[in-house]
Amino acid sequence: MIELKNLCKIFKTGNKSIVAAENISMRVKEGEICVLLGPSGCGKTTTLKMINKIIEPTSGEIFVNGKNVTNVDNIVLRRKIGYVIQQIGLFPNLTVKGNISIVPKMLHWDKERIDRRAEELMEMISLDKSYLSMYPKELSGGQQQRIGVARALAANPPVMLMDEPFGAIDPINREIIQDEFLRLQKKIKKTIIMVSHDITEAIKMADKIAIFKEGVLQQFDTPDNILAHPGNSFVENFVGKDRTLKRLNLYSVVDVMNKTPFIFNDNDNVCDAIKIMHENSLASVFIVDKDKKPVGRLVLKDVKNLKKNDGKCINYMIELKSMIKIEENLRNISSQMYLHSKSSFVCVDNDDKIVGEISQDGISNFLNATYKKEPKGYENV
């Protein structure tokens, strides 16, 4: 857990005083990722660096896991906090193992323990242990970033600070490494504060987002509450006019799907299906086989004039364009709906058995429901 209470930083420049951070108060729970956002010069990096006292606070208090560390010796404090800096910052004259071992050596770990931890971390970041003997210049940008994270985790700190950790990586590899980091975070459950300039990255990575302007914390809240209920006009403009579309990244199919759609077996009489569709104002229904696996879609406009006993559903169904896994996010699903000109898809589990249906109307109703509720924020300034 990290808690800041009325944290301030005032820089003196000649006869002038510049307020870089003004009365910052926020609480990040254990195991959460908090992303600090805002335009250049807004105070987010200053706030981050005050936590491990690379920048000394002018006033206020810092708590880590319930302990007031405001007056703790700076070196002792920093050895207990993982730090991933901008541009990765690996020491070029040290091997990968040498970089990872820096803090453990300062803590007087023995060689066997350091070696074991280095190999554990390589497995954790999905790199072969043969990389331990390499130098940073022999690694790709993505590999260097992984080593930077491993170095920050070397002494197993409960807290990590990350200053634009993915900013130096190209967009394709950035997304891959972000995904890898989120998978890793599910295992290690560190309390993390990260600086970013990228609202899309913040939405993807964060449990909480803190938005700054001119040294003042404008809003501290969950990504969804910030997008759905921005605290003021600055936050609203900062997150963008497409903020509703950005919310699609926050939810998956399982959050929205209709878990009890109308379905028919492939051997059912087609006229029985037509009757049910008429009675329930359904444009189409899904057809499944004996194992409850979707095999097609029966569309009312294609079969509404059929007579009784005109055959089985399997003879009139159309091919499914796509079957959706329940862990897919709504942004990807919306994209597929437009790509295939479909208003709904069948949802399946890992055994490809039907578990529901997702539709454009369902997504729209889900998103709109939030706007009808009072915001349940954390700190809205």
Same domain, residue pair 173 and 258? no
User: Does 273 share its domain with 204?
Assistant: no
Residue ranges making up the domain that contains 361: 254-366
According to the model, what pLDDT value does residue 380 have? Answer: 44
Count Cβ atoms below 10 Å from residue 66 Cβ, excluding itself: 8
Query: Could you tell me if residue 381 is inside a domain?
Result: no
Q: List, as one string, the DSSP characters of 77-111.
A: HHTTEEEEBTTB---TTS-HHHHHTHHHHHTT--H
Tell me, yes or no, whether 209 and 278 share the same domain: no
Residues 230 and 283 in one domain: no
pLDDT tens-digit profile of 147-190?
988 998 998 898 999 998 887 677 777 888 888 889 889 988 99
Whole-prediction pTM: 0.84
Beta bridge partners of 190: none
On whether both 223 and 323 belong to a single domain, the answer is no
Residues 181 and 282 in one domain: no
Residues 283, 268: one domain? yes
CA distance 255 to 257: 6
Whether the CB-CB separation of 222 and 332 falls below 8 Å is answered with no
Q: What integer pLDDT is reported at residue 322 of this predicted model?
A: 86
Q: Quote the pLDDT of residue 309.
A: 64
pLDDT on residue 176: 84
* 91: in domain: yes
Residues 194, 264, single domain; the answer is no
In the predicted structure, residue 377 carries a pLDDT above the cut 70: no
Do residues 211 and 184 both lie within one domain?
Answer: yes
* Burial class of residue 158 in the structure, from the number of CB atoms within 10 Å of its CB (0-12 exposed, 13-18 middle, 19+ buried): middle
pLDDT of residue 128: 92
Domain count across the chain? 2
* Mean of the per-residue pLDDT values of the chain: 90
Among 218, 251, 284, the domain boundary falls at 251
Residues 6+ apart with CB under 8 A from 338: none
Q: Do 302 and 263 share a structural domain?
A: yes
In a domain, 373, yes or no: no
- Would you say residue 313 lies in a domain? yes
Tens digit of pLDDT for each residue in 218-229?
Answer: 999 999 999 999
Q: What does the pLDDT read at residue 374? A: 60
Cα 242-244-249 angle, rounded to 5 deg: 100
In tens, the pLDDT along 253-299 reads 999 999 999 999 999 999 999 999 999 999 999 999 999 999 999 99
Considering the domain architecture, whether residues 40 and 169 belong to the same structural domain is answered as yes
Looking at residue 130, its pLDDT comes to 93
DSSP characters over 149-167: HHHHHTT--SEEEEESTTT
The yes-or-no verdict on residue 381 having pLDDT over 50 is: no
Task: List CB contacts of 20: < 8 A, sequence separation 6 or more.
Answer: 9, 10, 11, 43, 46, 215
- CATH number for the domain spanning 212: value is 3.40.50.300
What are the tens digits of pLDDT across the range 103-137? 999 989 999 999 999 999 999 888 999 999 999 99
Among 257, 280, 231, 210, smallest CA distance to 361 is for 257
